[in-house]
A and B are shown apart, each in its own frame.
Chain A
Amino acid sequence: MYRYDQYDHQMLADRVAQFRDQTSRFLDGKLSSAEFLPLRLQNGLYIQRLAPMLRIAIPYGMLSSVQMRKLAFIADHFDKGYGHLTTRQNIQFNWPALADVPDILAHLAEVEMHAIQTSGNCIRNTTTDQFAGVSADEVEDARAYCEIIRQWSTFHPEFAFLPRKFKIAVCGTRQDQAATQVHDIGLYLLKNDKGEIGFRVLVGGGLGRTPVIGSEINSFLPQEHLLSYLDAILRVYNREGRRDNKYKARIKILVKETGVNEFREKVETEWKVLKDGPLTLTQDEVERCRAFFHDPAYKTLPADSATLEAALNKDVLFASWYEQNIAAHKKQGYAIVTICVKKTGFAPGDLDSDQMRFIADIADRYSFGEMRITHTQNLVLADVEKDQLYDLWQSLKTHDLEADNLGLLSDMICCPGGDFCSLANAKSIPIAEAIQRRFSYPQLREIGQLSLNISGCMNACGHHHVGNIGILGVDKKGEEYYQISLGGSADNHTALGKIVGPSFSQDEVPDVIEKIVQVYQQHRDAGENFLAAYNRIGMDPFKEALYGNKADDKQAD
């Protein structure tokens, strides 16, 4: 993975000193809350319902075992011993004290980590597919480009006070697992027929109050122009994005109101000034960044492992985990392991410090000391020898990390919701748990691949719009209610879910999910997953099951 040189280290040291000074001026009353607000947000610090929350960047999800141990240390020394993985491939701590944050940042800097631009109206952590570099079906490894974008966006002097937050995703795998189309800018890596690398550029996607799928403004942007083109898009957005209404300030609204063609022209006009200028990527820089993501020292292994076969035959629980949580690796004899952090009874995406240290240890032992965070709030060990999978699985059991529900209904994306977040309309973690408890494991397996995403409010941190089933917390006269949508998807054929009808109370939600699943089970063709069945049969059978003929009398929310 990327390693810092003296420039990167200096940049981080300067940042820590700057924030230390800002924090002490705030605590001394020399800096108002309003003026401190964007400064602390751009260092990942929120003031939450119960305490500050610190969101630490994990650039494009890559984490080393050394870094993971540092996170465990922070959890123990500055928090209540746990952290929460987020849909932006970051980690959040819910209990740090404000005065400690500069020290926490100094600790992070020791291991080349930070909380820069993890919040605020600026360019956020660039995300990518968690299988970048190891996927069997990859156009090009996206991580080098993510790092190039990370550096360009870090402390970008022109874009620190945008109309609203700005998220970029890069996808180099053929099976998009990065929800690329619902980002402010989505970049798909491509190779043209001459073998040259470029990007298909989508702009104006996003979730939140007004979910939109991004529109293409460039079908092939040669890689050397990546940064000048991004600069041009951001300049148009910074100048023209709406600042009169927070809910209309994302670039998706600007693109809609301007029209895609006119927006493209504006970008082209700006780009003319920047194109072929100093931001043009050099081959040296691309190679330098790529070199950080070269293959580790893989062994030459046979394609099949007798050890693995034997274990699969003798241990059905292991076989079930294997079937669910393992993906094909590009290198013969290796496997990609996803550790599903969604065990029933544990808040989705939460890790305690023992688990963090443990995962760091097994990453050292089994996967070249590196791991990845997924936007579905799970962890990946990307390079595990097939021979060692059974050993790995057995050790995962010692730390409650053997959940074999990856991709199943219980592998939910769930935001922190009303238990932690001051913006929430409703709780989300107890909803997740009630649903998990409703289904037995054999039932979950029988239901098969189904994504269920929960957000505690319109901000959609839980990506509810793109869950096959989406649950959104709403406020109904002061009561917590839940609106259900169906048919969302975050892959290459991204779709936004449609609301089924009037919302439900907390107690009703598990029944509702069960009924939805039953409709699917009654109607599905052989081998048809939930989304495919929904797309074929449509909304009506689900409506019928949930509301009968009452649907007409109730007002949709």
Chain B
Amino acid sequence: METRQMTNKLIKDGAAQPDSWYLQSSGLTAESLPALDGMDIIVPLAFWLAQKSAIQSRKGNTGVWLDSHELPAALADDIHAIPVIALNFPEFKDGRSFSTARELRQRMGYQGEVRAIGDVLRDQLFFMRRCGFNAFVLRDDQDMDAALAAFNDFHDAYQPAIDQPLPLFRRRQ
């Protein structure tokens, strides 16, 4: 499958931004890697696990993406060297990647970019950010201004999460 660039609708750290990353589909093979030299690419988990040395020696940055059923534990050994971990929403109703994001941040202490890809819609952005996503590649039809406004849907929250480590009950005045 072809290489897709996420130039269109990236929100990162609260603002619309140009995107330098190219998402690779699960059809990516070791043979096609050299053709991508010099590009920043995000590869599927299976590829990343199988081709670690090829990835390390390639020119350009390499991130990894997980589908919603894939667990981040497999990344544990070298997670801190990965600049971007993208989590897929095959459909917006599949809520597994919310937990994956929290696991990355909370349990694994991952500090890099956690990016939402796939069926990423305005109405889920607020919760995604709370769970530790800091980059969002919106589905093509989404309105950028409406999406930016979504981060202000609520003034506060009851639970602790990645954006607010303390539950409201420890902060009420």
Contacts and interface: CB of A to CB of B under 8 A. Distances in A.
Contacts of B159: 152, 155-157, 279
Interface in B116-173: 121, 123-124, 126-128, 130-131, 143, 153-161, 165-170, 172
A22 B102 CA distance: 27
A273 B106 contact: yes
A161 interface: yes
Contacts of B98: 157-161, 238
A282 B160 CA distance: 14
Contacts of A39: 123
B134 to A, nearest CB: 14
A156 B157 CA distance: 8
Range, interface on chain B: 35 or more
Given A5-B172, A10-B156, A273-B106, A278 B93 contact: no
Contact of B168 (A7, A31, A161, A162): A7
A63 B91 CA distance: 38
Contact of A161 (B95, B155, B157, B170): B95
Contacts of A152: 158-159, 167
Given A5-B172, A161-B94, A155 B99 contact: no
A273 B167 CA distance: 16
Contacts of B107: 273
A248 B29 CA distance: 36
The residue among B94, B128, B159, B165 with the most chain A CB atoms within 10 A of its own CB is B159
Contacts of B166: 278
B12 interface: no
Contact of B169 (A10, A161, A162, A282): A282
A158 B131 contact: yes
Interface string B106-119: 11000000000000
B123 A14 contact: no
Contacts of B158: 11, 151-152, 154-156
B54 to A, nearest CB: 30
Contacts of B92: 35, 161
Nearest to A18: B153
A120 to B, nearest CB: 10
Contacts of B100: 239
A243 interface: yes
Nearest to A151: B158
A160 B156 CA distance: 17
A235 to B, nearest CB: 5
8 contacts: A14-B153, A35-B92, A35-B121, A121-B93, A148-B169, A158-B161, A160-B124, A161-B124
